[in-house]
Amino acid sequence: MTYDALHMFDWIKARSGDNPVYIWGHSLGTGVATNLVRRLCERETPPDSLILESPFTNIRDEAKSHPFSVIYRYFPGFDWFFLDPLTAFQIKFASDDNVNYISCPLLILHAEDDPVVPFHLGLKLYQIAAASQSLHGYKVLFVPFHKDLGYQHKYIFRSPELPNILREFLEKPETDDS
């Protein structure tokens, strides 16, 4: 998926002219997005910004926290049967590692009432990113959406504040020419 995304980024970037190119990942796509942006930063062609909506730290943490695993996670052998095969087959979606290699502005959006990707995983990812040396000097922002709003996992787009949040985050800071 990352290589497909790399080719798509190159195609878009070649046709974007001077227009900014942003990467936006949602849920499982946040793992792909962080891996993509890590690769772009390694080759010194980062996007203008990375936006992560309902992200998790890594697929192992997400699988352990996912609602489908609730009845199984306390059984002996849960890690061995469900989680270890992910690691064995190199399925990581390791956003928590990837943010340590990203050098572009980062915005994380997460609803407190998200039943699919627990809010604490998005907050933990933000804390890792905010402490990352690679993101030092870049805007890193976490925007929580209160549980009373009912945005859950996939309705953040309904927020009337979202356009302003994006506008403020994506605007270039004014430079002082004096």
114 is catalytic: yes
Catalytic residue among 61, 114, 132, 159: 114
Pair 47, 103: CB distance under 8 Å: no
DSSP H or E stretch at residue 23: strand 22-26
Q: Can you give the length of the chain in residues?
A: 178
- What crossing angle do the helices spanning 28-42 and 2-15 adopt, rounded to 10°? 60
User: Encoding tokens for residue 69?
Assistant: 């695993």
27 is catalytic: yes
Helix (H, G, I), strand (E, B) or coil at 167: helix
Of 80, 78, 64, the closest CA to residue 121 belongs to 64
Catalytic residue among 27, 65, 134, 159: 27
Catalytic residue among 54, 153, 159, 176: 153
Helix (H, G, I), strand (E, B) or coil at 156: helix
What is 75-112 written as a DSSP string?
A: STTHIIIIIHHHHHTT----HHHHGGG--S-EEEEEET
110 is catalytic: no
List, by residue number, the catalytic residues: 27, 114, 153
